[in-house]
């Protein structure tokens, strides 16, 4: 395996790890454990499918720049290889950023909920497969400015 192939495989592996969250509607992230939640009840008034943008961690940009730089350095010799490496790194960084963002994009839902208090709120959360319909009674779990809706 040459350096280009190895670097490309590393990029794919890094980006693929961002795609697999494995959390379902009844699951919590580790940071959610032992946190106090205020529970409020309400009724779903509207449900809309949305897209949640992908991550912009810089991993895709950095990995793409390395792959592009290595690939570009194989063009020409001397100064041509240097110019190729620089241009390859820039192009690879731009492509890596786009790949990371696209690979980590998630399906989401926007729920409009009429709270029992009379207040109406909208919450956007990742679509975990839990089905929400207009008229459903739901609970809002809220802590530290973050919230999620569940049955």
Give per-residue pLDDT as tens, 3-52: 555 545 455 555 444 444 555 556 767 776 767 889 999 999 999 999 88
| CATH number 1.10.10 is the correct assignment for the domain at 35-53+106-151 | no
**Per-domain residue ranges for the chain?**
1-22+54-104, 35-53+106-151
Distance between CA atoms of 125 and 21, rounded to whole angstroms? Answer: 14
CA distances 140 to 20, 25, 86, 113, Å, are 25, 13, 50, 9
pLDDT band at 111 (very low <50, low <70, confident <90, very high): very high
The share of the chain scoring above pLDDT 70, in percent, equals: 68
Determine the pLDDT at residue 54: 66
- The pTM (predicted TM-score) of the whole model is 0.56
């Amino acid at each position: 395996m040459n350096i280009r192939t190895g670097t490309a495989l590393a990029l794919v592996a890094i980006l693929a790890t961002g795609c697999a969250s494995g959390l379902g509607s009844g699951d919590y992230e580790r940071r959610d454990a032992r946190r106090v939640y205020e529970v409020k009840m309400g009724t779903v008034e509207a449900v809309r499918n949305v897209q949640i943008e992908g991550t912009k961690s810089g991993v895709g940009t950095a990995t793409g720049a390395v792959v592009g730089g290595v690939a570009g350095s194989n063009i020409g010799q001397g100064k041509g290889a240097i110019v190729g490496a620089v241009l390859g790194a820039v192009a690879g960084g731009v492509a890596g950023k786009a790949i990371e963002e696209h690979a980590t994009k998630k399906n989401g839902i926007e729920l409009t909920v009429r709270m029992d208090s009379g207040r109406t709120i909208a919450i956007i959360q990742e679509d975990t497969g839990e089905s929400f319909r207009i008229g459903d009674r739901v609970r809002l779990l809220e802590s530290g400015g973050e919230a999620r809706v569940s049955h």
